[in-house]
Amino acid sequence: MYDIAFLDIPPLRSAGGTVRLPGSKSISNRVLLLAALSVGHTDIADLLDSDDTRVMLAALDALGCHVEHRPGGVIRVQGLGGQLAVSSVQLFLGNAGTAMRPLTAALALLAAERGGCFELSGIARMHERPIGDLVDALRQLGCPVECLGQEGYPPLRLGNGSAVDLKLDQPIRVRGDVSSQFLTALLLALPLVARERAVDIEVVGELISKPYIEITLNLLARFGVQVQRDNWSRFTIAAGSRYVSPGLVHVEGDASSASYFIALGAIAPASEGTTGVTIEGVGLASIQGDIRFVEAARAMGADISGEANRLHIRRGQWPLRAIDLDCNHIPDAAMTLAVMALYADGTTTLRNIASWRVKETDRIAAMANECRKLGATVEEGADFIRITPPARWAQASIHTYDDHRVAMCFSLAAFNPDNVRVRIEDPKCVAKTFPDYFEALFERCETPVDRIPVICIDGPTASGKGTLASEVARRLGFHLLDSGALYRLVGLAASQQGMATDEETLRQPSQAQRLGALAASLQVRFDGEKIWLDGLDVTDALRTESAGMAASRVSAVPEVRQALTELQLGFRRLPGLVADGRDMGTVIFPRASLKVFLTASAEQRAERRHKQLISKGISANIADLLADLKARDHRDMSRAHAPLKPADDAKQLDNSELSIEASVQQVLDWWQGKAADAGN
């Protein structure tokens, strides 16, 4: 996950390959609640692991429901059998609407029936998301519900500690034209009190987002509760209802998440060696309403074929066809159409989307603002958005409003024909439903390698370039190449194989060749901070002084440098690379966007190295370290091949007097300046 301030996506060219989507958010949270309310335990496979489901799991835990993580990623929920394990608790539900609404209904009913008291709250945005229609419905039933802030909004207090009689003899009226989640909440909760008599719900106003109600009814049936539906306006829960676990439930891939990869396949030419984008885990037999995004994408020109549990997408008509569509049936996925509209041959209108205004953010305003930043002409109304593609795309920093869908949608702007990069602010907001979205995207996208930005940080030993490079990489979400580690690996591998690496030996051509062959065949794996050689963790062994000295010697051998070139170039992957070493800017990435040459006085460096070793409990002597360091500097600078020296266009940074943070900030400032100059 990219836990950073912003993520710059370079212009992308093509896409292809297979993606398996995380589980559906709507199904995951409904199944969790149903499992908790059921008799018996439920095993849930492929449950979505995201902010919203974590919120629900934490709430269930606080309610005394036992949840167990079993092998194979299966979650086992011990049902409470419609009982209350605790009678009073405060629940913090973040910004998870799919937890807030159904828990409100279920806990209000249980508290009223059995005498409990629950407080439900969330983040500030959650307290701006209306829940008054659900509160009204629960009050009609006789449930004590108090809005603790503004009337009609969370936080809420449910129940007052005493049992009250519920009024189940008349139909419960609930509005259906603001959010279908209120009806879903009642449908999930009312079976708990429909033991002796059937319970009726009457929908007031035109019901929106019907497909989400279908998911609810479908899942209720799987947990043993039948609901009779009359025209989307009346729902009857049978008398004698009781939730019973179906044993095992598989959660489908999220159809709303699928929309980004469907759009990807429709927008991007297929990468070489692929036939487009394949999505697994969700397909034409999905119970999720957003699967109908497939029809909308086809209408815009996407070439989509599918099976029950799989979809395959290729670019069809290009540019895409502009459409005019009522999107009431696909409220979430329709946001993706707004971004596809940027690639269309005319003006696209998406209608009947008033519910966008009460989601994670006001999504009509958000999509309009951000599309305009990219150069589109946008008109917005209370319940529609109309988008005309940019004549020329502008470089933009996309604000994401803590809304996962805004972030995912605008990543697709990186295929723009004007090759401008797209900045996504607060990219980690995708964690709400798809924590690894950007990783999944980059893995399936390609772009010419010279468009992938590289920042080179070269400098002498112990100048702090490793620390600087890894922090700059972390802040930008870029990959990291510690090229020194590769030379250290060669030194280590040589000594493991009993090869001498003294200068005398290495001057013999046959030895140099052997060492080059060894470097070319290194079996190395980088795994976060860890480095594995031939299946052994060598992270610590590589950091020793002697490994550094050996590296310095083997690195003077041209055959070794040559053998490691390909390996180093391979680190240049989306979305970008920070490379540290001696010749990153001069030899390996001579056309890098930013080159930094880091220096500090030899005395300063020796002192830092000394501190570092002492802190690791390794005894060291400053005078010896200084001598070693100078010897390495001399060898690294005077060798014939790729000697250590600043590239002509490198920025020099003497960090003798700078804190790490100040150095990091300086490099990031230079980087921002470069990006602004380049206009991309």
Instruction: Return the range that interacts with ligand DC (CB under 6 A); candidates 208-216, 332-340, 429-437, 575-583.
Output: 575-583
Shortest Å, Cβ 596 to ligand DC: 14
List the alpha helices (DSSP H) in 374-508: 404-411, 437-444, 465-476, 483-496, 503-506
**Based on CB atoms, which residue is closest to ligand DC, 249 or 469?**
469
Query: What is the closest distance, in whole angstroms, from the C-beta atom of residue 541 to ligand DC in the complex?
Result: 13
571 forms part of the interface with ligand DC (CB under 6 A): no
Least CB distance to ligand DC at residue 488 (A): 6
Stretch that binds ligand DC, among 180-188, 378-386, 481-489, 524-532 (CB under 6 A): 481-489
d(CA 583, CA 384): 55
Can residue 583 be called a binding residue for ligand DC (CB under 6 A)? yes
**Which DSSP symbol is given to 586?**
I
Per CB under 6 A, 483 contacts ligand DC: yes
Catalytic residue among 51, 332, 403, 636: 332
If one asks whether residue 488 binds ligand DC (CB under 6 A), the answer comes out as yes
State the nearest-atom distance from the C-beta of 267 to ligand DC, in Å. Answer: 38
The sign of the dihedral angle between the CA atoms of 219, 224, 229, 233 is negative
Selected from 440, 551, 625, 650, the binder of ligand DC by CB under 6 A is 551
599 belongs to the binding site for ligand DC (CB under 6 A)? no
Give the number of other Cβ atoms within 10 Å of residue 641's Cβ: 14
SS (H, E, C) 16-54: CEEEECCECHHHHHHHHHHHHHCECEEEEECCCCCHHHH
The reply to whether 636 sits near ligand DC by the rule CB under 6 A is yes
Cα(105)–Cα(555) distance, rounded to whole angstroms?
A: 68
Shortest gap between Cβ of 636 and ligand DC (angstroms)?
A: 5
Q: Does 487 bind ligand DC (CB under 6 A)?
A: yes
Which residue number, 403 or 580, has a Cβ lying nearer to ligand DC?
580
Judging by beta carbons within 10 Å of its beta carbon (0-12, 13-18, 19+), is residue 292 exposed, middle or buried?
middle
List, in sequence order, the alpha helices (H) in 508-659.
509-520, 539-542, 545-554, 558-569, 602-615, 622-638
Per CB under 6 A, 609 contacts ligand DC: no
Site residues for ligand DC, 197-256, by CB under 6 A, read none
| Residue 456 identity (one-letter amino acid) | C
**Consecutive H or E run containing 677:** helix 660-678
Q: Cα–Cα distance between 484 and 579 in angstroms, integer?
A: 10
181 binds ligand DC (CB under 6 A): no
Decide whether 216 or 555 has the Cβ nearer to ligand DC. Answer: 555
Q: Is 585 among the residues that bind ligand DC (CB under 6 A)?
A: no
Measured from the CB atom, the residue of 366 and 538 that comes closer to ligand DC is 538
Closest CA to 272 of 10, 14, 444, 574: 14
Q: Is 437 helix (H, G, I), strand (E, B) or coil?
A: helix
Minimal distance, residue 510 CB to ligand DC, in Å: 22
- Does the annotation count 580 as an active-site position? no
With a CB cutoff of 8 Å and minimum separation 6, the contacts of 451 are 10, 11, 13, 419
Report if residue 484 touches ligand DC, rule: CB under 6 A: yes
Q: Which CB, 176 or 484, lies closer to ligand DC?
A: 484
Contacts with 133 (C-beta within 8 Å, 6 or more apart), sequence order: 174, 175, 178, 179, 182
Residue 524 Cβ vs ligand DC, minimum distance, rounded to whole Å: 14
Q: Got the DSSP string for 137-164?
A: HHHHTT--EEESSSTTSS-EEE--SS--
Is 548 a binder of ligand DC (CB under 6 A)?
Answer: yes
Both tokens assigned to 507: 């001057």
Q: Which residue is nearest to ligand DC (CB)?
A: 484
| Whole-angstrom distance, CA of residue 434 vs CA of residue 23 | 9
Say if residues 63 and 19 touch (Cβ distance below 8 Å).
no
* Residue 478 beta carbon to ligand DC: minimum distance, rounded to whole angstroms: 17
Part of the chain binding ligand DC (CB under 6 A), chosen from 44-52, 257-265, 301-309, 582-590: 582-590
* Count of chain residues binding ligand DC (CB under 6 A): 15
**Is residue 315 a contact point for ligand DC (CB under 6 A)?**
no
CB of 473 to ligand DC, least distance (A): 15
Query: Binding to ligand DC (CB under 6 A): which residues in 451-470?
Result: 461
Query: By CB under 6 A, is residue 8 in contact with ligand DC?
Result: no
The residue (of 431 and 588) whose beta carbon lies closer to ligand DC is 588
Q: Quick one: 423 or 582, whose CB is closer to ligand DC?
A: 582
Instruction: Please pick, from the candidates 306, 575, 581, 585, the single residue that binds ligand DC as defined by CB under 6 A.
Output: 581
What are 294's strand-pairing partners? none
Give the Cα separation of 456 and 584 in Å (integer). Answer: 6
Instruction: Indicate the residue among 341 and 578 with the shorter CB distance to ligand DC.
Output: 578
Does position 447 interact with ligand DC (CB under 6 A)? The reply is no
DSSP string over 298-364: HHTT-EEEEETTEEEEE--SSSBPP-EEE-TT-TTTHHHHHHHGGGBSS-EEEES-GGGGGSSS-HH
- Examine residue 416 and tell whether it contacts ligand DC (CB under 6 A): no
Rule CB under 6 A: which residues touch ligand DC? 461, 483-484, 487-488, 548, 551-552, 555, 581-584, 632, 636
Residues acting as catalytic residues = 332
